[in-house]
Structure 1
Amino acid sequence: MKKAASSSAVSLLAVAKEAGVSRATASLVLRNSPLVAEPTRERVKEAMQRLGYIYNRGAANLRQNRTGTIGLVLSNIANPFFSTLTAGVEQSNDVSEAICLIANTAESPERQDRQIRRLREHNVDGLIICPAVGSDQGLIDALGRLGLPYVQVLREISNSQGDVVTADYAAGIEQAMAHLVETGRRRIVFIGSMEMHSAALARLDGYTTAVRRLGLTLMPVIAGTRDNRYDEEAFDRLLVSGDPPDAAICYNDIIALSLFHHLGRRGMIVGVDFAVIGMDDLPQAAAAFPALTTIATMPYRIGAVAAGLLQQRLARPERAYERHVIAPELVLRDSTRGPAARS
């Protein structure tokens, strides 16, 4: 049996000889060229593995003026929603053979600026970014000065140019409101309204539009915070008012599950005394008791589409900008199973 050479000594020519092909053919295999027949491709790959050949991707990227890396700038990586979005990005990156560097802004525009500059120092080819709360046109201008192609995900800077991939939050909220009315709920409160970035505005717009369209009374909106909490005291005041709510649409699943516990402490049965709908369809939603009805916003798909869109932008910088709005899906579970206990 032929002994494998050390990886530092293995050349592409040695691989070609081992596989019984020309060096040019071995090079085409490295570049995933469709010109190579599948049996030949497999033979070359087996020879690479046998000899311990390591492709010098850095040198190849240098020839193409690319590093093969992208920056993923997220607003809050502690939120499990973003881990699912990251998985979608990575799935697309696996196809394009790109590597992702992740940065967390913690909802700080100042930290966001520092992170973007550090990523630029590492020569990332482009960015996928969920703008931090408080971001404005200055972010887009900075990306332009740094020469960084980008795709905005989930949130977008108002009136800015560039590629965007987001969810149709308003449509999801309206669909959820219609479902609650079908189950007999008519006093529906929105819980967890955040600072006014585009995704928060879309949610609130969906709520107010549905209230008007369905002929409901607009209830006071309960404020939320960046760390996925909500104003429990304001909610309690609403519960003991003369016209208390019988259902809630929550900004996300994390707030909805927190509301579960709060209602339980008050002796209320979720799904019977009070209906709750979340947003995002995190794994915790299906595992909750009762299982949480939620608006699935497809973070995996959003991530995959955004990564693919960035690769298209890098390949053809002059192409027209695209805006992809992913349709959400209402996932019905037990937290909205029954009619309201109060008429």
Structure 2
Amino acid sequence: MTTSKREDLRRFRRRRVTLSQLAAQLEVSTATVSLALRDNPAVSAETRKRVQALALEMGYIYNRQAASLRTARTDIVGVVVHDVLNPYFAEVFRAVESELETYGLTILICNHRDSIERQRNFVQVLQQQNADGLVLCPSVGTTVADIEAIMRTGTPVTLVCRDIDGANAPSVRGDDRHGMYEITRLLIDKGHKDIAFVGGLRSTSSGRDRYAGFLEAMTEAGLKPVLDIPELMNQADGRKAAEIIAAHSPRPSAVVCFNDVLAFGLMSSFARLGIRPGVDVAVTGYDDVDGSETWAPALTTVENGSEEIGREAARAIYALIIGEEPPFEHKLIAPHLVVRESSG
């Protein structure tokens, strides 16, 4: 790299274009520039176009920290969940982000991997960045005291996908017990009696409720699980569970999985073991994530309202941020059974 190019790069790194510089060059007020950059209709369309064009040309970057000092708002909402690799949560993120964008808010995503210490660290960092609020899928081990500690600092919280009994924060999630009851009844009505259950962290509301829905349907039919393998969540776990199930005697005729990604791992491993999902053994999932319909065989599952859950969580956290009452305290989204080939 030549000396002149290095000097150019150093000059660009040092330069930070300000609102005042834009305003001076355009001979308008800094308030006009600020409104124009936010596309506020209070400024004429022609002026907005001039301001935005010059900002682009000069490389202006919005100074969120400076704006925060003026308004006590950063327009940032932290979204903290346990597994960003699960496509179900990607669908929830997308819905939260889409809804909050209509209010001019941006999300930052954190992945606590079900570690309470990681969750506390992420929450602290988000608070240090003056995030306006948190949408939280609580980690294993989260208590009412943890939620109250966040709220005492003045940071609004909305719980999503998992609940904490007794927490004084709005929560929205799917009706996990009813959804799992319905899909288990489907298998029982097809004549299955030797049914296994795979997965779910039983110390969480979703793990507890889905297993309870499974047991309710089984007990109602006078049946008991032929096999129960708890505390599994991902595809790798599903592949391991397939080997346990294949070796079990009697081998289950149907397997109810806590979520879709477990079912994907289970079915891929079954195929390698010479067991045909949907033919030799029925398999069901939960969440109806992208890919469930195109898997071979297509996965019977429960549509778990990811978009509605995300939208409702965004509405609740925004209400809290602007000082209004949230639209609900605790909201359950109705699930929908989706029957495909994997259940036979």
Scaled by the length of structure 1, what TM-score is found?
Answer: 0.81
The partner residue of 2:266 within 259, 264, 286 is 259
Match of 1:10 in 2: 22
What value does the CA root-mean-square deviation take over the aligned residues?
3.0
Aligned length: 319
Match of 1:180 in 2: 187
2:290 counterpart letter in structure 1 = P
Q: d(CA) in 1 for partners of 2:146 and 2:210?
A: 23
How is 1:213-252 mapped onto 2 (pairs within 5 angstroms)?
213-227=220-234, 229=237, 231-232=241-242, 234-238=244-248, 240-241=249-250, 244-252=251-259
The partner residue of 1:324 within 318, 324, 331 is 331
1:316, distance to aligned residue in structure 2 (A)? 2.1
Whether the 8 Å contact between 1:161 and 1:321 is mirrored in structure 2 is no
How is 1:83-122 mapped onto 2 (pairs within 5 angstroms)?
83-122=90-129
Describe the shift of the 1:48–1:333 C-alpha distance in structure 2 as closer, same or farther (beyond 3 A). Answer: farther
Whether the 8 Å contact between 2:315 and 2:327 is mirrored in structure 1 is no
How is 1:200-211 mapped onto 2 (pairs within 5 angstroms)?
200-211=207-218
- Structure 1: stretches of 5+ with no match in the other structure: 1-5, 18-22, 339-343
Describe the shift of the 1:331–1:48 C-alpha distance in structure 2 as closer, same or farther (beyond 3 A). Answer: farther
Whether the 8 Å contact between 2:26 and 2:51 is mirrored in structure 1 is no
**Secondary structure in structure 2 of the residue aligned to 1:128:** strand
1:246, distance to aligned residue in structure 2 (A)? 1.5
Q: d(CA) in 2 for partners of 1:65 and 1:254?
A: 41
**Secondary structure in structure 1 of the residue aligned to 2:293:** helix
Whether the 8 Å contact between 2:36 and 2:52 is mirrored in structure 1 is no
1:195, distance to aligned residue in structure 2 (A)? 3.7
Percentage identity across aligned positions? 30
Q: d(CA) in 1 for partners of 2:158 and 2:268?
A: 37
**Secondary structure in structure 1 of the residue aligned to 2:199:** strand
1:41, distance to aligned residue in structure 2 (A)? 6.7
- Structure 2: stretches of 5+ with no match in the other structure: 1-16
1:29, distance to aligned residue in structure 2 (A)? 9.9
1:226, distance to aligned residue in structure 2 (A)? 5.0
Q: d(CA) in 2 for partners of 1:15 and 1:199?
A: 58
Q: d(CA) in 2 for partners of 1:116 and 1:207?
A: 34
Q: d(CA) in 1 for partners of 2:195 and 2:234?
A: 23
Match of 1:127 in 2: 134
* Deviation sequence 1:76-98 (CA, Å, 0-9, x none): 22222222221111101211111
Q: d(CA) in 2 for partners of 1:191 and 1:64?
A: 49
Q: d(CA) in 1 for partners of 2:25 and 2:180?
A: 60
Q: d(CA) in 2 for partners of 1:63 and 1:246?
A: 64
> Does 1:275 find its partner at 2:287?
no
1:201, distance to aligned residue in structure 2 (A)? 0.6
Stretch moving more, 56-65 or 194-203: 56-65
Whether the 8 Å contact between 1:15 and 1:51 is mirrored in structure 2 is no
1:307, distance to aligned residue in structure 2 (A)? 1.5
Scaled by the length of structure 2, what TM-score is found?
Answer: 0.81
